[in-house]
Amino acid sequence: MHGSQRIADESPYIKQRLPFSMSIILSLTSSIALHRGINKILWGNTSDDGVEKFEYTTKFSVGFSKILNESEPDKKDIEIIMPIANKRKWEGFMEFKDNPALFSLTWSCITERQTQCGKCGACIARRLAAKLGGIEDTTKYRSKEFDNPLSIKQMNNPKNIPLGSVFKSPRGPE
């Protein structure tokens, strides 16, 4: 889920980043998890997501977990885990290298509900990260083709791609 994705009625993107967007999303996610008896929440945030936004840091998730534990004293040990928070998107995706079928089940698209479009910013970031991570991307996309915004030099040395550039999952204009 993205911090300011379009709502179901096809309204345009919110013109600015929704304040406390990840707090809202994590509150809802935590509430659903607790209702289902789950106390560990896995957040697949990478260093490319939410660049320079405190809500996207490990420090925030630890603090937010503490707030949740104080709010629900009988349900201790609520934890928001960010296993790839310090990795680039393509480095995090390398975890799927030996299991492309599992990778194909993950979701990135911000425009479609049934099949990922393959052309929105989140889909392009996903496709490039998979390619750079050496993952066979067997995901079904509505569009098989996409425009690669990276140069051959960048594709050959992804560590030099600026944080939050092409791998940033778009959340509407900020």
CATH of the domain at 43: 3.40.50.620
Q: Does the residue 3 lie in any domain?
A: no
Tokens read off for 120: 């929105």
Q: Does the residue 1 lie in any domain?
A: no
Which of these, 112, 73, 85, 74, lies nearest to 22 by C-alpha position? 85
Q: Does the residue 16 lie in any domain?
A: no
Whole-number Å distance between alpha carbons of 101 and 140 = 11
Tokens read off for 14: 């919110």
Q: Does the residue 51 lie in any domain?
A: yes
Whole-number Å distance between alpha carbons of 135 and 98 = 8
Per-residue pLDDT of the chain (174 residues; tens, 9 = 90+): 444 444 444 555 544 556 788 889 899 999 999 889 898 998 888 888 877 788 888 999 999 999 988 887 776 688 999 988 888 888 988 888 888 888 888 888 888 778 999 988 889 989 999 999 888 899 999 998 888 888 888 888 888 887 776 654 444 333
The number of folded domains in the chain is 1
Q: Which domain holds residue 34?
A: 21-160
